Chains A and B, each alone.
Chain A
Amino acid sequence: MNTRLRQVLGTDTFLPYWLLLPTLIFIGIFFLMPLFNAVILAFRSDEGVFTLEYFQRMVGDVRFIEALKYTFFLALTIVPIQVITALAMALLVNAGFRGSRFFLYIFALPLGISDLAAGLIWLSIFTQHGFLNSILYSLGIIDKPIYYISYQNIGLTFLAVVAAEHWRATAIVMVILVAGLQMISKDYLEAAEVLGARGWKKIWYVILPLLKPSLQSALIIRTIFALQTFAVVLALAGDIIPVLAGEAYFWHFFYRNSHIASAYAVLLMVISIGMTWFYLKFLKSRMEVIRG
C-alpha cells in the first residue's frame, strides 16, 4: 500500500510539512492548549493547588445525577432510532428508482439546520397551542390542549426532545450510510443474487456486513454528538431536562465558575472516549459473529 502510494503521490521531502504547518500550529493553539487547560482548570484551584474540590462540587450538585441520567438516556434512545431510520432511508434511496436523487437531497436537508433552530422548530409543534395540539383538536381527538412540555410531564418533554433530535441529526447518519452503500462493489450484490439471496436476505447477509465500517463510524460520531446535546434541549425544554453540556454552560455563564464548567467538560470527554472504545470493541466481535 505504502509503496503504491509513494509511486502515485510525489515524495518532496519538506514541502508537504510546510503545507501542514499552519494546520498543526492552529491545532496546537486552539485544540491542544485548551484541552490541556481544561484539565488544569478542573483540577487546580486559583491558588495553584491540585484539588478534587470542583469534581466534588459537581457531583454534589442537585442537578448532576439528573443531568448524567438524561444525557445517557437521550443518547441511548436517540442513536438506535436514528441508525434504524437512517438505514431505512439510505436503503430506500439506494434502490435507484426514478427521482431517488431528488429524495436524497430532501432527506439530507436537516444537515443544514442547527440544534438551536431544530429546537425552535419543534417548539412550534409541541408548545401548548402548537401544531400538534391544533391538529389533534381539528381531528376531534382532544378538546383541551395537552401540555407536552412541563415539569408535570417530564416523560412527554423527554419524548419531545427525542423527536426533535431524531429529526435533526438523522440526516448525517443517512449520508454516511449512503456513502458506504455506494462503495459496496456491485459484484458482491450480483453474486448474492446469483446464489439466490434476494430482498431481506440480501440486506441482512450481504449488505449489512459490508456496511459495517460505515455503521461503526456513524454510531461513534452520532453517540459522541448526542452526548453533547445542548441547544435542542434548552430551546425546547428550558431547564426542565438537565443535560451535562447544559450544566457546563450554566456553570460558566450564570455562576461564572469555569472550574466546575471544565469539570463537566472533562467528564463529557471521558464518557465520549469510553463510548468510542466500547463501540470499537463491541461492534468488532459482534459483526464478525454475524459474518460467520
Chain B
Amino acid sequence: MSFPQLLRRTLLYMAVLTFALWVLVPIFFIGISSFTPRNEIYLWPKSIIPSHFSLDTMRFFLNSYGVLTSLLNSVWVALLTLAFTLAVGAPAGYAVARFYFRGREGFRLGILITRMFPTALLAVPLAVTFIKWGLYDTLIGVALIHTAMALPFAVIITTGIFMGVPKDLEEAAMTLGCSRFGAFARVALPLALPGLAAAAMFTFVISWNEVFAATILTVHNRTLPAHILTTIQASPLYFRFAGGFFMILPALFFMFLIRRYLFHMWGGATAER
C-alpha cells in the first residue's frame, strides 16, 4: 500500500471511529449513571467512573411507586399494538405486493402521508372521543392510537417482505392443488415469517418508545414513558437516569436483532417516492 493510500485509510478509520464514539459514549454514560450509587450522582467533583458498581439506583427506580405497573402497561400496550398492526396492516402489504389494482399507487402514497401529521393532531381529539367511547385511560385506547402511528410502517415493511417472496412459488402451489389461501398460508407465510417477526419487533419498539399520545390518553393507566414524563419534574436525577436507561434497553436489543431489516424498512419507505 502506497503512502497516500495508507493516509486515506487512516483518516477514513479515524472519521468512522469518531462517529461511532459519538453514538456510543452517551449510551455508555447513561449506563454507568444507572449503576452509580445514588449519593454519588450529586457529588462535586464527580469522578466519571463511580467508586463502585451498585444496583441501588436501579432497585430504587423499579421499586418506586407506579414504575412496575406502568412497565407492565407498556408491555401490554406494545403487544396489543403489535397484534393490531400486523392483523390490519399485513393483508394490505400483501395486496400491494401481489396485485395490480386501481388506486394502488394512491394507497401507497396516502398511507405514507398519514404518518406526516403531528401526533398532537390525532391524540387530542381522540382523547375527547375516547371519553365518549369509554376507551379513555385504557390500554386498548393507547394501543389503538399506537397502531394508527405504526400502521404506515407496517404496510410499507410487509409490502417489501412479500415482494421478496417469489410469486412463482405460490402459483406453483396453486397448480398443485392449493387454494389461494392455502398457497398463501403454506408457502408465502412461512417464507415471510422472519421478515414479519422483524416488522413485529419494529412495531413493538415504536409503541414502547411513544410518549406524547400515551400521556394525553391516560390518567392512571400510564405506560412507562408516560409515567416518567409526568413525574419528571418531581423525581430525583438518579430516578430519571435509571428510567432513561431502562427505556432504551429493550429498544436497543430489538434493534440489534432486526438490524439486517432496517434498510429494507427505511429504504422501502422512501425509495419509490
Contacts and interface: CB of A to CB of B under 8 A. Distances in A.
Interface string A70-105: 000000000000000100110011010100100101
Contacts of A95: 12
Count chain B CB atoms within 10 A of each CB in A107, A112, A117, A172 and give the residue with the most: A112
B92 interface: yes
A241 interface: no
A97 B9 contact: yes
Nearest to B84: A26
Contacts of B116: 220-221, 224, 272, 276
Contacts of A248: 120, 124
A144 B49 CA distance: 19
Interface string A17-39: 10110110011001101110110
Interface string B242-259: 011001100110111001
A69 B96 CA distance: 42
Contacts of A258: 124-125, 127-128
A128 to B, nearest CB: 8
B266 A172 contact: yes
A177 to B, nearest CB: 10
Given A92-B19, A116-B211, A231-B211, A131 B124 contact: no
B20 A103 contact: yes
Contacts of B228: 116, 120
A27 B151 contact: yes
Interface in A222-269: 224, 227-228, 230-231, 234-235, 238, 245, 248-249, 252-253, 258, 261-262, 264-266, 268-269
A185 interface: no
A272 B118 contact: yes
Interface string B110-139: 110010111111111111110000000000
Which interface class (under 10, 10 to 19, 20 to 34, 35 or more) fits B?
35 or more
Given A16-B95, A23-B88, A224-B116, A33 B129 contact: yes
A135 B28 CA distance: 14
* Most chain B CB atoms below 10 A, which of A103, A172, A220, A249: A249
A123 B245 CA distance: 12
A287 B32 CA distance: 46
Contacts of A100: 16
Contacts of A123: 237, 240-241, 244
B216 interface: yes
B19 A20 contact: no
A37 B118 contact: no
B43 interface: yes
Contacts of A230: 211-212
B41 interface: yes
B270 A176 contact: yes
A125 B26 contact: yes
Interface stretch (B62-70, B140-148, B189-197): B140-148
A108 B126 CA distance: 33
Contacts of B75: none
B203 interface: no
A17 B128 CA distance: 31
Contact of A120 (B12, B123, B155, B243): B243
Contact of A135 (B41, B48, B89): B48
Contacts of B98: 9-10, 16
Interface of A: 2, 5-6, 8-13, 15-17, 19-20, 22-23, 26-27, 30-31, 33-35, 37-38, 40-41, 85, 88-89, 92-93, 95, 97, 100, 103, 105-117, 119-125, 127, 129, 131, 134-135, 137-138, 145, 167, 171-172, 175-176, 178-180, 182-183, 213-214, 216-218, 220-221, 224, 227-228, 230-231, 234-235, 238, 245, 248-249, 252-253, 258, 261-262, 264-266, 268-269, 272, 276
Task: Name the 5 nearest CB pairs between A and B, nearest first.
Answer: A120-B244, A179-B267, A114-B209, A112-B255, A37-B125
Given A11-B101, A134-B47, 14 more contacts: A2-B100, A20-B92, A34-B121, A105-B256, A114-B225, A121-B248, A175-B267, A176-B266, A176-B267, A235-B240, A245-B118, A249-B212, A264-B120, A269-B117
